[in-house]
Amino acid sequence: MGITLEGVNYTYQKGTPFEGKALFDIDLTIADGSYTAFIGHTGSGKSTIMQLLNGLNVPTQGTVYVDDMAITAGSKNKDIKLVRKKVGLVFQFPESQLFEETVLKDVAFGPQNFGVSKERAEELAREKLAMVGISEEFFDKNPFELSGGQMRRVAIAGILAMEPNILVLDEPTAGLDPKGRRELMTLFKELHQSGMTIVLVTHLMDDVADYADYVNVLETGKLILSGKPSDIFQNVDLLESKQLGVPKITKFAQNLRKRGFQLERLPITTEEFVEVLKHG
Amino acid sequence: MTNSIEVRDLKFKYDQEQEHYTLNGVSFHVKQGEWLSIIGHNGSGKSTTVRLIDGLLEAESGKIYIEGQELTEDNVWDVRHKIGMVFQNPDNQFVGATVEDDVAFGLENKGVPLEEMQIRVKEALELVGMTAFAEREPARLSGGQKQRIAIAGAVAMRPNIIILDEATSMLDPEGRLELIKTMKAIRDQYGMTVISITHDLDEVALSDRVLVMKNGQVESSSTPRELFARGEELLALGLDIPFTANLIKLLRTDGINIKDDYLTEKELEEQLWELLSKA
Amino acid sequence: MDKLILGRYIPGNSLIHRLDPRSKLLAMVLYIIIIFWANNLVTNLLMLAFTLVVILLSQVKLSFFINGVKPMIGIILFTTIFQMLFTQGGEIILQIWIIRITSFGLSQAALIFMRFLLIILFSTLLTLTTTPLSLADAVESLLKPFEVFKVPAHEIGLMLSLSLRFVPTLMDDTTRIMNAQRARGVDFGEGNLVQKVKSIIPILIPLFASSFKRADALAIAMEARGYQGGDGRTKYRRLKWTLKDNLALLSVIALGALLFFLKNP
């Protein structure tokens, strides 16, 4: 189950004096089972696209195809509600969405909004909480008693409990310490390996290189580049001119190349670089 | 030369009923004009320590000396004028309705006369490169810009010591870089003592010395270079492994023997180029 | 969410814009007091003329004023018609079944209508030409002399300016939380009344929680920046009372005097 955007345009606050166009003729596909990254500045349209992927917003023009559902400007909320379940959206600093009396109840909240029974929802909640590494002793605690990192994992469990086919993540590791970041990225990798499609919106190019198999580059509402990370990151100068970086190793290798070292392709991971050196 | 800050055997716990101490005998000093990084896993006591230094919390036992003067309940407010603090959340320390209002806040509190305030606000804004934003509202600033205003607000007080409590952890890479550059420029120009709590390798790399905190105690004190050479341990200490350290490790497994455990990117580039161009 | 809606301030450099917010606030208070002396045609025309002149001086487009009146139109019409139908006295102008409209009822209705209109026009004028922040400053400054009577003028001023500072931030928080909950399947504004009210809880609780966190962190930051309350504090933002402010107040007082003499006893 993938997502396709066809000729998508989006104008916010249409019809008011504050209206503005956020997306221009976007055509892209998020392949089923892929780990797709979106990179771009604040204002590039990343957040707008995210909210189109799960039907929170509908396109002003064009169509968003999620599985067999077509979302257009005229789509009514009740018809596309199911999309929000199929495509789980984790916003930045998701811990701010917690509100229930207990951790378990909060995680069980989402599924119940889609008709899942309370018992089944709690079952799912237990499952997903274990998956994100929250132990049982916390299940009956008030979510506000947990640490920031723990609250974030509870929030993510809350989205996973809806059993989405596609997980969209907006800077999921923002504000976390290195250990917390690694744990989360490992979790997403495992989810991906078990068949979930992952969409990652990020600023961290090293993460894109380490995890993603496809990347879309956005700038002021337009798709300017898309392809495999190893191809996209060859354009070091272009990306830097747009103030989007490249993985550290890629920049490092480029510096070596500038000195005269022969490198056909710039590596995007440290392992790749070392391999290249090994084989001359 | 007196130490800028001296901390002796601090003990503290947030809740009298909890068993373990958040700070369990912390001692260290910071030299005048030094840039000290404090790193450690979450809960190791980093934030608690700097809040004690600024008198925002009161220790159960132990002593704190700011520029040779012992910090007590009576002189807390005076001592505080010597210390400027920048916190983690850009929004939750922005008091003013506009940028210049916020920079003036500390000056207002001190009772600085209007003409003097206007001069210092202008200076401070220039220092952080935000002069054009003087009348802007905070809601229309990015996180990085708000943090730069926080620094301006601190600097306007002309403190001898600036403390950054994870000031970059909520910023995007661009904002982070901006802030670190600003801090460095200010430090270089005014020579103030800087303490920065951080998880960011680039920020640590800029500092003169790194204090590692673990479980409410000082685990070690070293230069950034010495710290980065500790490799795998760094994760448990609340830092990433520097990219170059990781690269060196991998190069060694393939027979490319770089002697040092850690080098800066430029240094590694040099060494590698030498090795490769000879091969 | 629109950020301009709050206060509806329209930037400009007219005479009215440049008045000290304190004189504008005081003028408004006086205006509302003297309007009750406008109880006949002459006095009402005088008030209307005065108000129109000030509106003209503000150089703000009439459409903004109309937009200021629009939301209140329902209540104005309701009250006017109510007066017309239920205040009895004088000749009977119209009688249908049990509904009786009298001349007195008509005149009272007209009076009520004028008063509503004028008050709304004048207060709209105030908010269109004065930033919320300067109004907060004005309130603090006007309350300052009452500090002798333990009125916490400084604290009130600080509360007002902090609230203004955080309103856009909290609105952003609300939008973000709403979107996050919608992504979890909550439908706002749909369903029966009970459902609609229930759907507010997933917004209200996180919003309160984050607001408390903000307040906590802010208090610590303020303390770290040397805040100890109002004593010994100087102010960066200053208000300047000039001659034109005196004139503005005088003109309202003069208007009041005129009304007093020209009104029906």
CA atoms within 13 A on the CB side of C231: 1
Which of left, alpha, beta for C119 (phi over 0: left; psi -120 to 50: alpha)? alpha
Contact A271 B250 (CB under 8 A): yes
Residues B159, B162, B168, B169, CA torsion sign:
negative
pLDDT at position A242 is 87
Q: Where is average pLDDT lowest: A13-22, A115-124, B195-204, C2-11? A: C2-11
Q: Kindly indicate the confidence band of residue C102, based on its pLDDT and cuts at 50, 70 and 90.
A: confident
pLDDT at position B279 is 67
Contact C234 B100 (CB under 8 A): no
B99 contacts chain C (CB < 8 A): no
- C208: nearest CA partner in chain A: A99
Q: Which helix (H) or strand (E) holds C80?
A: helix C73-86
Give chain C positions within 8 Å (CB) of B98. 133
B91 contacts chain A (CB < 8 A): no
CA–CA gap between residue C4 and residue C181 (Å, rounded): 26
- C177: nearest CA partner in chain A: A97
R_g over Cα of chain C: 24
Considering CB atoms only, which of B42, B170, B272 is closest to A256?
B272
Give chain C positions within 8 Å (CB) of A83. none
Enumerate residues 6+ apart whose C-beta is below 8 A from C76. C69, C113, C116, C117, C120
C182 contacts chain A (CB < 8 A): yes
Give chain B positions within 8 Å (CB) of C236. 100-101, 104, 107-108, 114, 117-118, 121
Is the Cβ–Cβ distance between A129 and A146 less than 8 Å? Answer: no
Task: Please choose, from the candidates B76, B26, B27, B86, the residue with its C-alpha nearest in 3D space to the C-alpha of residue B55.
Answer: B76
C147 contacts chain A (CB < 8 A): no
Chains in touch with B (3+ beta-carbon pairs under 8 Å) read A, C
- Percentage of chain B with pLDDT > 70? 99
CB interface of B with C, residues 18-57, below 8 Å: 51, 54, 56
Is the Cβ–Cβ distance between B238 and B40 less than 8 Å? Answer: yes
Contact A96 C187 (CB under 8 A): no
Whether pLDDT at A18 is above 80:
no
B165 contacts chain C (CB < 8 A): no
Is the Cβ–Cβ distance between A227 and A215 less than 8 Å? Answer: yes
- A205: nearest CA partner in chain B: B173
Is the Cβ–Cβ distance between C172 and C140 less than 8 Å? Answer: no
ipTM of the complex: 0.91
pLDDT at position B278 is 78
Number of Cβ atoms within 10 Å of the Cβ of B275: 14
CA–CA gap between residue B178 and residue A264 (Å, rounded): 33
Contact A252 B247 (CB under 8 A): yes
pLDDT tens across B182-226, in order? 999 999 988 999 999 999 998 999 999 999 999 999 999 999 999
Considering CB atoms only, which of C183, C190, C206 is closest to A54?
C183
| pLDDT tens-place values along chain B, 279 residues long | 678 899 999 999 988 888 888 999 999 999 999 999 999 988 889 999 999 999 999 999 999 999 989 999 899 999 888 999 999 999 999 999 999 999 999 999 999 999 999 999 999 999 999 999 999 999 999 999 999 999 999 999 999 999 999 999 999 888 999 999 999 999 998 899 999 999 999 899 999 999 999 999 999 999 999 999 888 888 888 888 998 999 998 998 888 888 888 888 899 999 888 888 876
Helix intervals (H) in B81-194: 99-110, 114-127, 143-155, 173-190
Domain positions in chain C are 15-130+253-262, 145-224
Give chain A positions within 8 Å (CB) of B256. 277
The mean pLDDT value for C137-147 works out to 92
Model pTM score: 0.89
Question: How buried is C129 (Cβ within 10 angstroms: 0-12 exposed, 13-18 middle, 19+ buried)?
Answer: buried
Strands A20-30 and B161-165: unpaired
Whether pLDDT at C5 is above 70:
no
